[in-house]
Amino acid sequence: MSSTVGLSPIHLPDPDEFARTFMTLHRSVLDGADVVEVFSMLAESCVRLLPVKAGGILALDSLGFLQVIGASDLSVDLIDLCQVQNLEGPSLRCCRSGELVADTMLSPQGPWPRFSELATSLGYRAVYAVPLRSLGVVIGSLSLFGTEEMPADRLVAAKALADAATLALLQADPREDTMVVARQVHLAVESHNTVEQARGMIAQRFGMTDDGAIEQLRRAAAQLGLPLVDVARATVHRDALHPAVSLLQQPLG
Amino acid sequence: MTGDRWRELAARLDHLAAKESLPRAICQLAVERLAAPSVGLTLCLGDSFSRLADTSAVAGHLDEQQFALGEGPLWDCLMTAVPVLAVDLAAEDASRKKYVERWPSFCREANERGIDAAFALPLQVGLVTVAVLTVYRDHTGPLTSTEYVDGLSLAALATTALMAERTGEHAEDLAEVFRAGVHERSRLHRAAGMVAERASIPIVEAMVRLRAHAYATGRPLGDIARDICDRRLVLPAEEQP
């Protein structure tokens, strides 16, 4: 069974942690964080604050396709689980309706059998799709995956965080200025693609798994204090002057 | 809804490409959808640039000037890999003259030819810009949101079409090729990264090889990408010296 959850008064499970998260998200926008960083932070926050194991961000591109632009972790399984929702799944419905969608049954007889099969094979029992909305315009969805059902008040907290992050990030009014939104989403999608390209290069270079390769890129980014996408872009361009390129000649221990 | 737009654009491009070269057809479609008589398409690979097509002498001149001058919306689009939308190239009031300040020589060239707005849209494989479609208008003001979405869609379609032309895929299959890859997009980019690393070639070239292999063997692109990521397949071309 899938159901749609409406807005109800927010009852916060952990108000202090929630407030800190909200401030961190907001501050990162003020500090110039990009779409991918802010939404990845949102997914990570949801995993920390809510009884879910993983989260992924799907944005609607200019052609109406759902594109992965970030996730709480960039494991291949999680990305597959997000992307398969271009065919069917709660996120597709969420983006179309603009409403939060929950499925705690994940049955092969349900509305999205292929998605349910993949999700259960990865050990998930409950999935949620939270709309990313700014002033009534849906630009994508936050997919949350858990091993147990989550209380409704927690979901409302996720929704509030998602709304705040989206609004802060897009700043411009999407009803007036769809171009700003389309441009941000466009950049986020291409950034994610470049991270995947760099990941393939590193996996090949060091003969490691895709998940090992993303860890290498993350370590390089952390060591250099640079965004992941900067490291990925330099790797793909083979930019000899970029410190990440020399750093990633050897596996980082 | 948007799937229909995609199919419709692809069908129109196919129709135009039957009568003239693909780059010209891409420019022609931009002329139709973005209400601008002057459109140019410039290919950018590594450090070399070449004009593929233009629909007027003005577009050809302004595209070329940007490489000569090292400034302009096309140039910025290439550097930043995002669409650059310059809505008023002649503005004299402080709020809008940022374009004149940013690209003084380009704006002078544009003004002399009656161009008051320019929009540069990237054709991309990830953050690598393969080509730039630049639309020049004789009046100030932004694109409508429909025009903008059509422009971005056309850029995505053009990228797929230009790669397909090199691999010999049929244009009529393009919409399907593109749609089929959507739920495996990440894996496709990852596979391209592996091919690029192994063969020491640019990422765009790796993407072309993946598609050429899919086409030559008649297998879906997603399956090829999966096999490469799982190390079950090494592209034959990679082993050539």
| B181 secondary structure, DSSP code | T
User: A45 falls in which pLDDT band (50, 70, 90)?
Assistant: confident
User: B117 falls in which pLDDT band (50, 70, 90)?
Assistant: very high
* pLDDT tens per residue across span B150-192: 898 899 889 888 888 877 766 555 555 555 566 788 899 999 9
Residue pointed to by tokens 């053009």: B158
Q: Looking at the predicted structure, is the pLDDT value of residue A11 above 80?
A: no
Task: Tell me if A253 is assigned to some domain.
Answer: no
A138, A228, A236, A239: best to mutate for the B interface, most B CBs within 10 A: A236
Please report residues of A whose CB lies closer than 8 A to that of B1: 64
Cβ separation A236–B190 shorter than 8 A? no
Cβ separation A204–B194 shorter than 8 A? yes
Give the three-class secondary structure for A29: helix
Residues 6+ apart with CB under 8 A from B199: B206, B209, B235, B237, B238
Give the three-class secondary structure for B121: strand
B130 in contact with A at a CB cutoff of 8 Å?
no
Between A178, A190, A198, which is nearest B81 by CB? A190
Of residues A193 and B241, more confidence is placed in A193
In chain B, % of residues over pLDDT 70: 87
User: B241 falls in which pLDDT band (50, 70, 90)?
Assistant: very low
Ranges assigned E (strand) in chain B: 38-45, 48-54, 84-86, 117-125, 128-137
| Residue ending a domain, choose from A116, A150, A173 | A173
What is the b/e burial string over B160-192, where b = at least 16 CB atoms within 10 angstroms of the residue's CB? Answer: bbbbbeebebebeebbebbbebbbbbbbbbbbb
Task: Tell me if A41 is assigned to some domain.
Answer: yes
Please report residues of A whose CB lies closer than 8 A to that of B152: 62, 182, 186
Of residues A176 and B4, more confidence is placed in B4
| A84 secondary structure, DSSP code | G
- Are A44 and A122 in the same domain? yes
Burial label for A147, CB within 10 Å (0-12, 13-18, 19+), is exposed
Q: Which of residues 48-87 of B touch A (CB under 8 A)?
A: 81-83, 85
- Are A41 and A126 in the same domain? yes
Of residues A34 and B181, more confidence is placed in A34
Cβ separation B203–A197 shorter than 8 A? yes
- Split into its structural domains, chain A has a count of 2
Residues 6+ apart with CB under 8 A from A32: none
CA-nearest of B82, B51, B85 to B65 is B51
Q: Which of residues 212-241 of B touch A (CB under 8 A)?
A: 229
- Are A163 and A231 in the same domain? no
- Are A126 and A203 in the same domain? no
User: A12 falls in which pLDDT band (50, 70, 90)?
Assistant: low
pLDDT for res B33: 95
Give me the mean pLDDT over the B207-223 stretch: 86
- Are A100 and A198 in the same domain? no
A97 in contact with B at a CB cutoff of 8 Å?
no
Task: Tell me if A21 is assigned to some domain.
Answer: yes
pLDDT for res B239: 47
B135 in contact with A at a CB cutoff of 8 Å?
no
CATH number of the domain bearing residue A122? 3.30.450.40
Task: Tell me if A229 is assigned to some domain.
Answer: yes
- Are A140 and A234 in the same domain? no
Q: Which amino acid, one-letter code, is at A29? A: V
A172 in contact with B at a CB cutoff of 8 Å?
no
- Between β-strands B48-54 and B84-86, what pairing exists: parallel, antiparallel or unpaired? unpaired
A58, containing H or E segment: strand A54-60
Cβ separation A183–B185 shorter than 8 A? no
Q: Looking at the predicted structure, is the pLDDT value of residue A1 above 50?
A: no
- Are A45 and A115 in the same domain? yes
- Are A134 and A241 in the same domain? no
Which class would CATH give B2-168? alpha beta
Give me the mean pLDDT over the A206-216 stretch: 95
- Between β-strands A137-146 and B84-86, what pairing exists: parallel, antiparallel or unpaired? unpaired
B46 in contact with A at a CB cutoff of 8 Å?
no
CATH number of the domain bearing residue A224? 1.10.10
Q: Cα distance from A69 to chain B (closest Cα, Å)?
A: 10
- Are A149 and A238 in the same domain? no
Query: What is the span of the domain harbouring residue A215?
Result: 188-247
A63 in contact with B at a CB cutoff of 8 Å?
yes
ipTM of the complex: 0.79
A164 in contact with B at a CB cutoff of 8 Å?
no
Chain B residue with the nearest C-alpha to that of A68? B186
**Mean pLDDT rounded to a whole number for chain A:** 85
CB contacts < 8 A, A to B, total 126
* pLDDT tens per residue across span A192-205: 899 999 999 999 99
In chain A, % of residues over pLDDT 70: 88
**Which residues are registered as beta bridge partners of A5?**
A100
Question: Which residue spans of chain B are classified as CATH 3.30.450.40?
Answer: 2-168
Cβ separation A178–B148 shorter than 8 A? yes
Task: Output phi, psi for A5, to 5 deg.
Answer: -105, 130
Give me the mean pLDDT over the A163-178 stretch: 65
A133, containing H or E segment: strand A126-134
pLDDT for res A164: 77
Task: Tell me if A146 is assigned to some domain.
Answer: yes
